[in-house]
Amino acid sequence: MSNQLKLAHTLKALMDAHGPKGIKVSELARVTGVPQATISGYLAGSGAGVNKPTHIRTLAKFFGVSMEYLLFGEDDREPTLSEIAKEELFEGWLHVTINKAIKGRRK
């Protein structure tokens, strides 16, 4: 694992991927309780506030990732079964047609 901090890049990517339009710093601060200035500092890559693991833990929990992933952009742990299932589910596109049969009605 690289010890280089990738917090700014990882946090920005997670914020952009959150919901259809992403999540703004102000909204992330409001829902997590992490100060807006702290989140902005993380995004600026200043490294300020990284020594407060409670903020990192809170953000990681909000996005459903590990603290290691949030800080370094990688995670050495083995994926869980549910993570593998989700990954497999969203591998490709699927087209499904559903027809409802109405009793007593024929085409």
pLDDT, tens only, 53-95: 899 999 999 998 988 888 888 766 666 666 555 555 555 555 5
pLDDT at 92: 55
pTM metric for this prediction: 0.65
Distance CA 19, CA 82 (A): 20
The owner of tokens 């259809």 is: 20
Other CB atoms within 10 Å distance of the CB of residue 28: 20
Backbone torsions φ then ψ of 67, nearest 5 degrees: -60, -40
